[in-house]
Structure 1
Amino acid sequence: MGGISIWQLLIILLIVVLVFGSKKLSSLGKDLGGAVKGFKDELTPEKAAEKEDESVQVMEDKSDAKFTESEAVVNKDKSKVE
């Protein structure tokens, strides 16, 4: 007696779509799904450790690339001086 019927849910859904628009609702759904997926991934200790190792490796690769770029700039400057 006090529950919500399927017709009431459909009317509420229709009003929400009219107010917010379908594009905004789809992007909201994608964002929410990504957040839930990220949360679940962080709760799994094995995956979190793997991601941490990957992020450390990426950081090391980026720092090596920056160092190499700075060496190239210094070498280029030295060649101009000579």
Structure 2
Amino acid sequence: MKVRVDNAGIAALLARADVREAATRPVAERVLAAAQSIAPVDTGAYRDSLRVETTDRGSAVVAGTDHAVYVEADHGTLARALGLTTKG
């Protein structure tokens, strides 16, 4: 059996924003749900600011508070959420 990969065809698909979005949005939504469930809560501002955004590379989970960088440095919420969604 031989498999021939159409690299140009794959590149053409990945160049389409709708294809990138369709491929990445479901994963981003799962990461978002996991992050919201494990986010540390003092005022709730960090957890409530988590959202999925469309980027030039597909979908991404972002936090929209000024102190998100400190929460991530202390707790690693988004990294842990990604790990929770890729196991098993």
Q: TM-score when scaled to structure 2?
A: 0.28
RCO comparison, higher one (Cα < 8 Å, 6+)? 2
State which structure, 1 or 2, has the greater radius of gyration over its C-alpha atoms. 1
Structure holding more helix per residue: 1
Structure holding more strand per residue: 2
